[in-house]
């Protein structure tokens, strides 16, 4: 694979795209890939899990579509399903708690341990997990929550991939992030989208068939069943503690950005900085995360793009100055986007600062303050703690195959913003913690900065985004001229 046909990219992540699982261990988890190429997937339906053969025994060919469809029809109509403890809920528990519960399952007395080991191995080794969800999400927020977590008990969150199909046919992917990054998953998703789109419609559904289907069985004592209940309750509480806003607008589109001659992603990041300023005040900006792929290096993953720059602060000040001329605003916008582009290129080339500082911090901690006093002083400084305390975590993923995508907040005082641009406009997936502790300020903010204003508010941030996009477009039009299509706000797919 090549980056825009420029240079080769590391492909090592693709080895874990299928048949891989994050196995919980006390202290540190382990990524495990099946030793022998599997021929099956695992299907989750309600609280039950089923092993379904999707390849021939030799693994060289797929089973006929009608046979796999018949197996899924059998699972959907399985009268024996229902009432069993949803063991998959354990994957949403704290990692050490899940590690302890898994160890207890394997150590169950009598034949129970072997039974649980066989079921866990079926999940661990499966190509992926397919969830047949009982919900029919009918709003963008409901659809996003279905794909992000659902009810929290019928997703195997540790699995490399969970393909999720809702009762109304809407589908998506939920993936475990430790093994790989969005580029690998998006390439897979695009390939699936193109292949499925080229398939002819099936005239009639296949009849239910139990061939190649085996329901996984578990031996759960009272303690294990209690661990499942506790994990389900913890996940439900985590879900309830988040607020979500899915926001779509045509106030700025690809044609507008192309007309400006500026970096598209830089413009979007500038809009997010201006939106946060308007929602929570300035003159300082939130510590911001965006990833840059370092796949140009062997086993490369990501580096951080720090979008909260002096140039971005100057942009916000220019757009907030009532008498600023469009030319001055456009100049500030260009400077901010050029700096963002430079930081992105630094990250791609392995010349960012975050991963280096992370490694140096680990080395300094291992050496101790006495051996490295200067390093210890640096990493103990409140400014560094403030730097690490991400308040605006962002990620972009655009594709004709996607309606959108998102992720959860990284802390109680952080926004999680997934975004993308397309021909008709932009979409945003904004998630944040609600309730106690959801202030826009982290624990280290007061030591180095004036506090931000108010609590986290997805609606206020979305309003800030809308205003920022409109103002940016007006600035572009004033300096570069109008585009063929103007925005009116609020497109729906």
Cis ω on the peptide bond leading into residue 283 (within 30° of 0)?
yes
Residue with tokens 């990493």: 379
Give me the active site residues, please. 177
Measure the CA–CA gap between 121 and 33, rounded to whole angstroms.
Answer: 11
């Amino acid at each position: 694979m090549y980056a825009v046909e420029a240079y080769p990219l590391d492909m090592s992540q693709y080895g874990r795209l299928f048949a891989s699982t994050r196995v919980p261990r006390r202290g540190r988890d382990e990524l495990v890939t099946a030793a022998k190429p599997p021929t099956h997937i695992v299907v989750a339906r309600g609280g039950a899990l089923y092993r379904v053969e999707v390849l021939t025994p030799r693994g060289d060919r797929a089973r006929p579509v009608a046979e796999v469809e018949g197996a899924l029809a059998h699972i959907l109509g399985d009268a024996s399903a229902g009432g069993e403890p949803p063991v998959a809920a354990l994957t949403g528990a704290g990692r050490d708690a899940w590690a302890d519960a898994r160890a207890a399952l394997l150590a169950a007395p009598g034949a129970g341990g072997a039974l649980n080991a066989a079921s866990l191995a079926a999940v661990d080794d499966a190509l992926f997990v397919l969830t047949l969800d009982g919900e029919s999400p009918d709003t963008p927020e409901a659809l996003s929550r279905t794909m992000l977590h659902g009810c929290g008990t019928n997703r195997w969150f540790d699995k490399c991939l969970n393909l999720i199909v809702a009762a109304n046919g809407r589908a998506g992917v939920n993936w475990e992030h430790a093994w790989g990054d969005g580029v690998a998953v998006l390439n897979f998703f695009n390939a699936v989208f193109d292949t499925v789109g080229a398939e002819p419609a099936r005239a009639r559904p296949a009849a239910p068939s139990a061939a190649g289907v085996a329901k996984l069985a578990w031996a759960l004592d009272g303690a294990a069943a209690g661990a499942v209940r506790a994990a389900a309750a913890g996940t439900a509480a985590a879900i309830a503690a988040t607020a979500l806003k899915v926001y779509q607008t045509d106030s700025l589109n690809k044609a507008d950005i192309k007309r400006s001659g500026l970096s598209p992603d830089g413009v979007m990041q500038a809009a997010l900085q201006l939106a946060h300023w308007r929602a929570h005040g300035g003159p300082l900006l939130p510590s911001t995360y965006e990833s840059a792929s370092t796949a140009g290096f062997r086993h490369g993953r990501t580096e951080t793009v720090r979008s909260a720059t002096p140039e971005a602060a100057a942009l916000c000040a220019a757009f907030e100055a009532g008498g600023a001329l469009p030319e001055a605003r456009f100049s500030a916008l260009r400077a901010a986007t050029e700096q963002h582009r430079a930081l992105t290129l630094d990250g791609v080339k392995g010349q960012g600062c975050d991963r280096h500082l992370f490694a140096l911090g680990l080395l300094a901690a291992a050496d101790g303050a006495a051996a490295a006093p200067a390093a210890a002083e640096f990493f103990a400084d409140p400014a560094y703690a403030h730097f690490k305390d991400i308040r605006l975590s962002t990620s972009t993923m655009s594709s004709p195959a996607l309606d959108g995508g998102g992720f959860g907040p990284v802390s109680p005082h952080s926004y999680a913003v997934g975004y993308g641009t397309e021909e008709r406009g932009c979409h945003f997936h904004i998630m944040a913690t609600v309730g106690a502790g959801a202030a826009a300020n982290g624990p280290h903010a007061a030591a180095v900065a004036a506090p931000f204003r108010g609590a986290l508010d997805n609606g206020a941030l979305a309003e800030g985004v809308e205003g920022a996009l409109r103002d940016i477009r007006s600035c572009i039009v004033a300096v570069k001229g109008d585009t063929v299509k103007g925005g009116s706000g609020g497109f729906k797919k």
